[in-house]
Amino acid sequence: MRRGESEVTQWPRGLVDYVPAGAEEETPSPEEDRTGNRLRIAARLIGLLRAGGENVDPELATLAEAKRAYAAKEPTRATELVERLLGTLDARTRRSKGSGPTP
Interval 53-80: pLDDT, tens = 999 999 999 999 999 999 999 999 999 9
Indicate whether 19 pLDDT > 60. no
Which of helix, strand or coil describes residue 12?
coil
* Most trustworthy range by pLDDT among 4-8, 9-13, 14-18, 96-100: 96-100
Gap between the Cα atoms of 91 and 76, Å rounded: 23
* Closest by Cα among 47, 39, 99 to 71: 39
**Residue 96 burial by CB count (10 A; 0-12/13-18/19+): exposed, middle or buried?**
middle
Q: What is the domain partition of the chain in residue ranges?
A: 7-96
| pTM greater than 0.75 (yes/no) | no
